Amino acid sequence: MNGTVDNTLEISGLDTSYGRIPMLRGVSLNVPSGQVCCVLGANGAGKTTLVKAILNMVKADRGSMKLEGKNMDSWPTHKRVKSGIAISAAAVGTFHKMTVEDNLKMGAYYIDDSLLQERLGEIYQSFPVLRERLRQKAGTLSGGERTMLAIARAVVNKPKLLILDEPSLGLAPIMIEEVFEIIRRLRATRQMSILLVEQNAVKALSVAGCGYVIQKGAIAFSGTADALGRSEFVENPVM
């Protein structure tokens, strides 16, 4: 075993395609352990494809991926999740006909019952709004509550790598503030690395330590969050 692993996630030279149309081209990306890393990009730049490729929901044509140093190229989706990758994607929604509690339990698919109760307790501490809605069907929640639920569901598992796919999508400014407050708390209190995929560059950079910009399926910038904040990508409103 390696004594220390610097990166929770390492992606090198990742290519994907949709049918015959290439999507990602030579994407290399690292998420250092314990850090928040953001990926910025416009609609259709390949952000969601990247997220799905990390979970093997989109097949990689080339390239390799490592989770805490272990090559995971051959792992199917459920094994990647079991090994510690959790994803919260606002666009994918919830299990709308299940209660909030059942949604959380589905997130903890690989945890046994006693540990589950403990984890749920922790979750209710961090997400008090969900505790009030436990017996309510997820489909009846407001947009902000649904985003909270999606994040909570991903966190129940205590993943090594948490992927947040556009958590601010479709939320009111006050809710966006709350979501990023939670991300800050997660960064401060938990030993998990976070890959934050966002369109809202200002918000994302306010919590991230490192950043990437993805354009037309390729990495256009990589560096620290500070460097990214000063770069043309953030200052240029066209992005």
Partner 1 sequence: MEMFWGLAVSAILLGCTYTLVAIGFSLFFGVMDVVVFCCGDIAIFGSFAIIGAYAVAQSAGLFGVFPFWVCVILLILIGAVFCAAWGLITHQLSIKPFQNSSELMPLLSTIAMGTVIKEGLGLLFKPVVNTISAAFDRESAVTVVSGRNPQGFPSLLLPDGTVGARYLTIIVITAVILLLLFLFLNKTKMGMSMQAISQNKELSLMTGINVSRVIIITFLIGGVMLAVSGFLVGSYQKLMSFDDGAMYGAKGFSAAVVGGLRNTWGAVIGGMLLAFVEVFVSGYIPKGTAYSSIAAFVIVVIFIVFKPDGIIGDKSVEKV
Q: Which residues, 6 or more positions from 42, have their beta carbon under 8 angstroms from its beta carbon? A: 199, 215, 239
Interaction pattern, residues 103-132, with partner 1; x per rule: CB under 8 A: --xxx-xx----------------------
How many residues touch partner 1 (CB under 8 A)? 29
Residue 236: how many other CB atoms lie within 10 Å: 8
Which residue's CB is nearer to partner 1, number 46 or number 107?
107
Which residue's CB is nearer to partner 1, number 138 or number 182?
138
Residue 134: how many other CB atoms lie within 10 Å: 14
Q: Are 224 and 38 in contact (CB under 8 A)?
A: no
Phi, psi of 19 (to 5 degrees): 65, -120
Bridging pattern class, strands 7-18 and 70-71: unpaired
Which residue's CB is nearer to partner 1, number 158 or number 216?
158
Q: Which residue of 8, 35, 94, 147 would you call a contact of partner 1, by CB under 8 A?
A: 94
Q: Which residues, 6 or more positions from 39, have their beta carbon under 8 angstroms from its beta carbon? A: 29, 47, 50, 195, 196, 197, 198, 211, 212, 213, 214
**Residue in this structure with the two tokens 């090594």, named with its chain if needed:** 160
Which residue's CB is nearer to partner 1, number 16 or number 94?
94
Binding positions for partner 1, 143-162, rule CB under 8 A: 153, 157
Which residue's CB is nearer to partner 1, number 107 or number 167?
107
Quote the least distance from Cβ 119 to partner 1, whole Å: 14
Quote the least distance from Cβ 2 to partner 1, whole Å: 25
The CA distances from residue 186 to 41, 99, 199, in Å, are 23, 24, 20
Strand locations in 60-187 (E): 60-67, 70-71, 85-89, 161-165
Q: Which residue of 20, 43, 74, 97 would you call a contact of partner 1, by CB under 8 A?
A: 97
Which residue's CB is nearer to partner 1, number 82 or number 230?
82
Interaction pattern, residues 74-93, with partner 1; x per rule: CB under 8 A: --xxx-xxx----x-x-xxx
Binding status of residue 102 toward partner 1 by CB under 8 A: yes
Site of interaction with partner 1 (CB under 8 A): 55, 57, 76-78, 80-82, 87, 89, 91-98, 102, 105-107, 109-110, 137, 139-140, 153, 157
